[in-house]
Amino acid sequence: MNPTQFAVFGHPIGHSLSPRIHQAFAQQFGLALEYRAIDAPPADFAAAVRAFFAAGGAGANVTLPHKAAAFALADQCSPSASRVGTANVLTALPDGRLAAHNTDGDGMVRDITERHGVDLRGHTALLLGAGGAARGVAWNLLDAGVATLTIVNRSPAAADALADAIGEPARAHTRYWQDLADIGSYDLIVNATSAGVLGVPLPLPFSLVGARALCYDLSYGVAASSFLAWAKAADARYAFDGLGMLLETAADAFALWHGQRPETEPVYQLLRQASA
């Protein structure tokens, strides 16, 4: 019998650790599966996804820049995906339709609060970016108890649209990117831009970093290195990349597909040692 087929779609995707992560999870349960990375430019994404599932694919993870397109492609959406309007998991239903899920926000909060032991309640939060990655975590930051969420994006219209969708003006609001040097300091700064993945500079003022600040990049590895270097130079108390978030979201997807949730910490430590 051929192993069950899974994949991760993105562009670029060569850096992805998802195939290694899901194989490590499968070993915990003695499961045989095939998991591969598929590079799909935006114009080819929908056709590539449909071809994968038509050929017997059971589930797929979705990363930049396809999370909004994945949500639009699905026939059925989970409450979390419907709330944010993006998806990072697609699952084949028995009747051939596709179901969309979004596990990003839950995974990020679990990584911060459980793995790193940081209580987010009462924090003032700054969210850099307003695209699919930012939408995937914004509501969960509020659910986790941050006092305020300031959204800043190079395109003000996208930031305004996200704040409007959240619909809590007393807690979630926007500021202009050009005003970053004058908007004060924050307890939590989340980089949800694609700058690191694209290798584009992201100049930020040190004044954003508050006395107890946690700086968190949704990317991991080389893509997060520039933002983390800035955070450390600004004397942030904590500076974390999104590797733990990746592990937690992958475990949620694995549980959706296999009915069993794997242990993430052994795989996290393994990948940290490998990167060191």
Residues designated as active site: 67
Per-residue burial over 102-130, b if 16 or more Cβ lie within 10 Å, else e, is bbbbbbbbbbbeebeebebeebbbbbbbb
Token representation of residue 74: 């699905």
> How many angstroms separate the CA atoms of 110 and 223, rounded?
21
> How many angstroms separate the CA atoms of 178 and 61, rounded?
34
CA angle (61 as vertex; 58, 64 as ends), nearest 5: 150
Residue with tokens 């993430």, as numbered in its chain: 264
Judge contact between 102 and 86, C-beta under 8 A: yes
Q: Which of helix, strand or coil describes residue 39?
A: strand
How distant is the alpha carbon of residue 102 from its chain centre? 9
Task: For strands 172-176 and 186-191, give the pairing.
Answer: unpaired
Please report how the helices 243-258 and 18-29 are oriented relative to each other, as an axis angle in degrees rounded to 10.
Answer: 50
